[in-house]
Amino acid sequence: SREKRQISQAVIRAYLKQALAEANQELAHMKAIDKMMVDQGVDAPAGSRSYSWHLGRFLYTKDEKMVRILSDKAWVTVRTTKKLVERTGWTLAEVQANPYIVNEWRLQVAASCPFMEPKCNVYTRYRTADGSCNNLMDPSLGAALTRQRRMMDNAYEDGIDAPRMHSVLGGYLPSPRVISNVMHKSDCCPQFSDRLAVAVMQFGQFIEHDVISTPMITGYEGADIQCCDTPPHVTAQRAACLPIAIPPNDERFKINCMNFVRATPGLKKNCDMGIRSPLNQASAYLDSSQIYGTDTKEQHRLRSGFGGLMNITVLGLLPATSNDHCIKEMNGDYCMDSGDFRVNHVPGLTVMHTIFVREHNRLATTLSLLNVHWDDETIFQETRKIINAVQQHLVYNELLPTILNHEYMTRYGLYSKAQGCEDVYDMNVQTDIMMGFSGAAMRFPHTRIPNVQAMVDKQFSRRMDAHIFDTFDKPKFILQNMGQALNDFARWLTTFPQMKDDRFVESGVRDFLFMDESGRSFDLISLNIQRAREQGIPPYNEWRKLCGLPPANYFYAGHGGLVDHTPDVVHLLSTVYKHCDDIDLFTGGLTETPLPGSPIGPVFSCIIATQFANLKQGDRFWYERDAPITGFTPAQVDQIKKTKLSLIMCKNLDFPFIQSQALLLPSKQNPRVRCDSMPEIDLDFWKVSA
C-alpha cells in the first residue's frame, strides 16, 4: 500500500499560498473570457433572447450578486483543494485532516468568508424566510443558498470536480442524447393514465419548486453562456461549459451540439476545504418558499403591507415583477411575481401559485376579523403558518400516495395520522436536498409531461390546446379574458388524464423543449443525464447498493443482473451502455419495472421516500408537532387535516363542484361533489382574546 509522504509545515504553507494564488488567477482568467465572449457576440447578454434563454430563466440565479460572491469563493476553494491534493500526493481525507493545512486554510482562505453560521432566536413561533435556524444545532442546515447533499462518495473523475465522462471499461460514456433516443423516445401513440389527472404532474412541479432551485453558472454580468457557438479549443477553456454531443442522423437535432452549462458550485460553511457540490437557492424545507420567497426582502416585495395580505391584482391574479422573466406577446401582458421565479414557466404552474396566494388572502381576511387586535405582521405570519401546514398535509396525503406505494408510505412513516398531533421530530436528521433526489429521482415526473397545455370550458369540453413549447414563460395564456383562463386551465388539470408513467417521454420536452423562433430547442432528458454526470452523482448501481438493493453485474434480467428490469429493457440498456456500472441513475431508475401500486421502481422509491421522510422528521416546524411556541394545538391540527386540494380549488376558482381527490380523475370511487358541501377549516380555533 501507499506510504504517505511527509511534508514540513513551511512547505505546506508555501503549497497553499501558491495553490490559492493559482486558483484566483484561473478565476480571473475565466472572467476575462466571459467578458470577451459577450464582446464577441457569443454569449447573450442578460435580458437578450438567446436560444437558451428559457433554460437560463429556469436555472436562473435568484440573487445574482450574492450567488456570484458565494460561487466565486466556492470555485476557488474547490480548485485550491484540488491543487493541494495533487501537490501533496495525499488523499483528500488526508489533506482535510492535516492540522497544518487546516490552520493555514483558516488564515489564508477562510479569513474573509462570506458564509457564516446564522444566529438564532430560539423563542420565535415562525419559520425564518430562508429556512435557517430550523435546526438549532446546525442553523444553516437546509437554508437557502447552501449546498445540496451527497449520500456517498462522489463520482467525479478526479474525486473533486471533474464530471463523470468515462465508462468503467475506458472510453467515453454514451452521449446523453443517444441514451434518450434509445431508452426514452415515445414511439407512436401517447398513452394516458387511467387514474391520475394532469394535476398530479403540475402540483408535483409546484411542490418540487419549494425544495429545489439549482442555478447554473452565468457569464459576464449575468449573460447566458453559449457552449456550442465557439470552436472546441475555446469551449474547452470555459470551465462552465459541458455541451452535449448530438449523434449524427438524430431525427430532431441537426447541429451536433446542445448547449449545457454547469451548475453553480455552493460554498461550504466557513469556506471549508472540499469537493464541488451544487448550490440550492431554495430552502430545502417544505416551508412554502415557492410562495413566500427565501429572504425577508422578498417577502416584503410580495406582501401588500396591511391586513397580513399578499399582493394580488384586482382580478385576483399574481402581481407584476420588474424582472423580465417572461415573454410578453399581447398588449397588457406582464410577468408575474412569486416566491419562485419559475412561476411563469407553463400556465398550469401559474394556476397552482395563484390559488395558494388567493387562499392566503382568504384566510388572512377571516383571521383579521376574528382577531382585530392582530397587526399586519402577526396576521401574515400566522396565515403563512397555516398555508404551509395545509401544503405539507396535501403533499404527504394526496401527492406522495400517487408516487409511492402503500408499503413505502408506511415503511418510511409518510402518512399523517388521521387526527391530532404527532411528534416525530429528530434534530439529527439531515434535511438538505440529496443530489440523487434533485438530479435524478424527483425528475421522474418528466415522463408525465404532456405535449400540450389545454383549456377546458364549463361544459368540460376542450376549447383550446396549445403546444407546450408555445406556452413556456408566456403569461398571456393566463391573462386572457380577465384571468378567466385560470379556471379553464384548472379544469383541464383536474379532469384530463396525465401521461402514463413509463420510460417514454413525450416529444414536447424531449425534442422541442424551449423551442425558439429559429427552431432551436433542447432535450430535457439529455439535460437530466448530463446534469447528474456534471454533479458527480454516482451511477445507478451505487444507489442500488445504498438502498440495500442488489447491484447489477451483467446485462441479464435474472439473478446477479438487472433484477428490476424486464428482459427487453435490459437488452436496450446493453445496446447503449458498455457496463452495468456505467448506467446513469436517471435512466436506470426510470426504466425499472414499477413496484405494485406505484408508478416507479425500488431505487427511485427509496430515494424519494428517504428525502420526504427527512423533510418530515427533520422539520422543527412540522405541522403535526404539538410543540410549545412553534406548534399548533391538537384542535387546530384537526382543522388543517380537513383541507384537501379540491377545497382550495373550490374556494379560489369558479368551480361549483369538483371530485374530492383533485389529483385523481373523477370516477365512481372519486365522485364530483358540490363545493358548498365540503368540510372546511374553521378558523374560530385561531381566535385569541386580546
All three cell numbers of 482, joined, read 380577465
Report the amino acid identity of residue 330: M
Q: Whole-number minimum distance, CB 387 to Ca ion, in Å? A: 13
* Residues at the site binding ligand HEM, with contacts judged by CB under 6 A: 55, 58-59, 201, 204-205, 208, 212-214, 346, 438, 442-443, 445-446, 448-449, 509, 524, 527, 531
Of the listed pieces 110-118, 203-211, 264-272, 484-492, which binds Ca ion according to CB under 5 A? 203-211
Which among 574, 608, 611, 576 is positioned nearest to 589, based on CA atoms? 608
Q: Whole-number minimum distance, CB 686 to Ca ion, in Å? A: 23
Question: Nearer to ligand HEM by C-beta: 473 or 592?
Answer: 473
Q: Whole-number minimum distance, CB 596 to ligand HEM, in Å? A: 22
Establish whether 209 is a catalytic residue. yes
Question: Nearer to ligand HEM by C-beta: 92 or 279?
Answer: 279
527 binds, among Ca ion, ligand HEM, none (CB under 5 to 8 A by kind): ligand HEM
Alpha-carbon gap, residue 294 to 547, rounded angstroms: 32
Q: Is 338 in the site for Ca ion (CB under 5 A)?
A: no
663 binds, among Ca ion, ligand HEM, none (CB under 5 to 8 A by kind): none
Question: Nearer to ligand HEM by C-beta: 349 or 583?
Answer: 349
Three-state SS string over 110-173 comes to HHHCCCCCCCCCCCCCCCCCCCCCCCCCCCCCCCCCEECECCCCCCCCCCCCCCCCECCCCCEC
Assign 524 to helix, strand or coil: helix
524 binds, among ligand HEM, Ca ion, none (CB under 5 to 8 A by kind): ligand HEM
Are the C-beta atoms of residues 403 and 207 closer than 8 Å to each other? no
Q: Is 287 in the site for Ca ion (CB under 5 A)?
A: yes
Extract long-range pairs of 377-385: CB within 8 Å, 24+ residues apart: 377/308, 378/308, 379/307, 379/308, 380/303, 380/308, 380/309, 381/125, 381/126, 381/308, 382/308, 382/686, 383/308, 384/126, 384/127, 384/288, 384/292, 384/360, 385/125, 385/126, 385/127, 385/621, 385/632
Alpha-carbon gap, residue 223 to 425, rounded angstroms: 43
Q: Whole-number minimum distance, CB 236 to ligand HEM, in Å? A: 20
Of the listed pieces 289-297, 364-372, 472-480, 643-651, which binds Ca ion according to CB under 5 A? 289-297
283 binds, among ligand HEM, Ca ion, none (CB under 5 to 8 A by kind): Ca ion
Assign 434 to helix, strand or coil: strand
DSSP class of residue 261 equals B
Are the C-beta atoms of residues 307 and 379 closer than 8 Å to each other? yes
Of the listed pieces 89-97, 202-210, 263-271, 335-343, which binds Ca ion according to CB under 5 A? 202-210
Question: Nearer to ligand HEM by C-beta: 149 or 446?
Answer: 446
Binding mask 204-223 for Ca ion (x = CB under 5 A): ------x-------------
Question: Nearer to Ca ion by C-beta: 210 or 473?
Answer: 210
With CB under 5 A as the contact rule, the residue among 148, 283, 610, 630 that binds Ca ion is 283
Alpha-carbon gap, residue 80 to 289, rounded angstroms: 34
All three cell numbers of 170, joined, read 475506458
**N-term to C-term CA, the chain:** 74
DSSP symbols for 82-113: HHHHHHH---HHHHHH-HHHHHHHHHHTGGG-
Say if strands 192-197 and 146-147 run parallel, antiparallel, or are unpaired. Answer: unpaired
SS3 content of the chain, % helix, strand, coil (to 5): 45, 10, 50
226 binds, among ligand HEM, Ca ion, none (CB under 5 to 8 A by kind): none
Q: Is 289 in the site for Ca ion (CB under 5 A)?
A: yes
Task: Give backbone dihedrals phi and psi of 480, rounded to 5 degrees, phi first.
Answer: -55, 155
For Ca ion (CB under 5 A), the number of binding residues is 5
Q: Whole-number minimum distance, CB 606 to ligand HEM, in Å? A: 16
Question: Nearer to ligand HEM by C-beta: 310 or 336?
Answer: 336
Q: Whole-number minimum distance, CB 630 to Ca ion, in Å? A: 17
Task: Give backbone dihedrals phi and psi of 93, rounded to 5 degrees, phi first.
Answer: -65, -40
Q: Whole-number minimum distance, CB 550 to ligand HEM, in Å? A: 27
All three cell numbers of 313, joined, read 391584482
644 binds, among Ca ion, ligand HEM, none (CB under 5 to 8 A by kind): none
Question: Nearer to ligand HEM by C-beta: 20 or 409?
Answer: 409
Of the listed pieces 42-50, 284-292, 395-403, 552-560, which binds Ca ion according to CB under 5 A? 284-292
Say if strands 146-147 and 279-280 run parallel, antiparallel, or are unpaired. Answer: antiparallel
Which among 564, 567, 621, 617 is positioned nearest to 593, based on CA atoms? 564
Question: Nearer to ligand HEM by C-beta: 454 or 509?
Answer: 509
600 binds, among Ca ion, ligand HEM, none (CB under 5 to 8 A by kind): none
Determine which one of 29, 54, 166, 209 is catalytic: 209
Q: Which residues belong to the active site?
A: 209
Catalog residues that contact Ca ion under the rule CB under 5 A: 210, 282-283, 287, 289
